[in-house]
Amino acid sequence: MNFMVIVAYVAGVLLLYGLGKILLIPLRTIFNLMVNAVIGGGVLLLINFVGGFWGFRLGVNPITALIVGLLGVPGVLLLIAIRLLFA
């Protein structure tokens, strides 16, 4: 086997490793955002269910969904604070 063929194989493996590493970072970020959105949405629905007994509700619309999706549970707490301050 030629030395240049071995070098080409090693370079190809390193290139694939680097490409996989580059593509894995955005997937990890997207996965974290999805987990935040699911947990935050569940807390938002729980707040609406429990708060319905006392007349406290948070609207579920694209803006609140975006806030909860990006921030998760702290986003729900932010929406509660805004609702209590301006309601």
- Residues 26-66: tens digit of each pLDDT: 877 888 888 888 888 788 888 889 988 988 888 888 788 77
Give the per-residue pLDDT at 32: 83
Tokens representing 54 are 């006392």
75-78, long-range: CB < 8 A, 24+ apart: 75/40, 76/40, 76/43, 76/44, 76/47
Tokens representing 32 are 């974290």
Is residue 71 within 8 A of residue 36, CB to CB? The reply is yes
Give the per-residue pLDDT at 85: 92
- Whole-model pTM? 0.64
What single DSSP character describes residue 4? H
Give the per-residue pLDDT at 9: 79
Whole-Å CA distances, 21 to 10, 30, 46: 17, 15, 38
Give the per-residue pLDDT at 59: 82
Q: Which amino acid is at 71?
A: L
**Domain range summary for the chain, segments of one domain joined by +:** 3-86
